[in-house]
Amino acid sequence: MPDSSVIVSAAANIALIKYWGKSDQPGNQPATASLSVGLEDLRTITRVSVSETDAIIGELGEQGRARLSSFINRFREEHDIQQALNVSTENNFPTASGLASSASGFAAITLALTHLFKPEMTDLEKSQVARQGSGSAARSVYGGYVEVVLSDDSYAQPVMPAEDWPLDVLVAVVQENSKAMGSSEAMKHTAATSPVYADWIDTHKADMDIARSAIAERDFVKLADISEHSCLKMHSTMMTSRPPVLYWKPATVSIIHLAQHLRAAGTQVFFTIDAGAQVKLICAPEDTQTVVRALDAVEGISRLIKTRIGGEPRISQ
């Protein structure tokens, strides 16, 4: 007898080599590969039960609810599933603030639906399902270091387990309210109007190769350089869009300077920033306290979330 109820905890992830832009193929196909790390303590917990009527419970907002509902309906149609579903979902971190809630959210619902109705699916196939909800969600099907591979049906695969290179992650929250423009819309706008977007696409493969070798070699400085480059290059496509998309706040820039200053002095830290103002700092664990102390002097940080690379999904009844 198949399970009629499941609880999934899936983690957010942050890209070190960014996904920014979609191909013109259907199915939410990315235009670039990407490479990310899972965040152990930033999670979406989603419970799905077979029920009498459909329901979605959670603080999703109108748009989020509609997006989740159409994802569930498409999955049911594709797999000829007739049952009504009760879905409840919550994040343990602020949503819509550049902390990738769509990644953990769509990974969690994908893992729940496939557990209940398509348990024979491989992780690769699950990542393809999750990608259709949100490009970054493909990566949250796994924990640790993960990459998205471009293909006719792009998928994610593990690069290395977290424990093979344990690093800490600090999330400096500098803006608590929702960002001005969502990622999907901003990507489209960037691709249509930025004069440097073509270069972004052309240089992506080389960036992926460098990041993969930095991880294989556990070369912190090499990973730091390529990650910061990918981040700034992505944001340069946004800033050169017309009208520009500028997510950063003054504190975002202060933290960039701080990370560069610290690394020049030998502290193992680098920054990355997604489609929002928050700065994520990746640190070697022996240097995390130095970074935390240095951040004390930066004005405009409303909170600091400390976690580590990890984020293996958890499934329970």
If binding is defined by CB under 6 A, does position 19 make contact with ligand 2P0?
yes
Token pair, residue 83, equals 């049952």
* Whether 283 contacts 291, CB under 8 Å: yes
Stretch that binds ligand 2P0, among 116-124, 133-141, 210-218, 289-297 (CB under 6 A): 133-141
Specify the residue, 34 or 128, whose C-beta has the smaller distance to ligand 2P0: 34
If binding is defined by CB under 6 A, does position 127 make contact with ligand 2P0?
no
What does the alpha-carbon distance between residue 147 and residue 12 come to, in Å, rounded to a whole number? 14
Of 305, 268, 302, 271, nearest to 288 by C-alpha is 268
Residues 256-275 touching ligand 2P0, rule: CB under 6 A, are 274-275
If binding is defined by CB under 6 A, does position 183 make contact with ligand 2P0?
yes
Helix (H, G, I), strand (E, B) or coil at 166: coil
Number of residues that bind ligand 2P0 (CB under 6 A): 16
CA–CA distance from 262 to each of 268, 281, 283, 288, 294 (Å)?
Answer: 8, 12, 11, 11, 9
If binding is defined by CB under 6 A, does position 134 make contact with ligand 2P0?
yes
The minimum distance between CB 142 and ligand 2P0, in angstroms, equals: 14
Q: Which of 20, 93, 155, 271 contacts ligand 2P0 by CB under 6 A?
A: 20
Stretch that binds ligand 2P0, among 54-62, 95-103, 203-211, 260-268 (CB under 6 A): 95-103
Across 25-42, b (16+ Cβ under 10 Å) vs e yields eeebbbbbbbbbbbbbbb
How many Å from the N-terminal Cα to the C-terminal Cα in the chain? 14
The minimum distance between CB 259 and ligand 2P0, in angstroms, equals: 18
Q: Applying CB under 6 A, which residues contact ligand 2P0?
A: 15, 18-20, 28, 34, 100, 102-103, 134-136, 183-184, 274-275
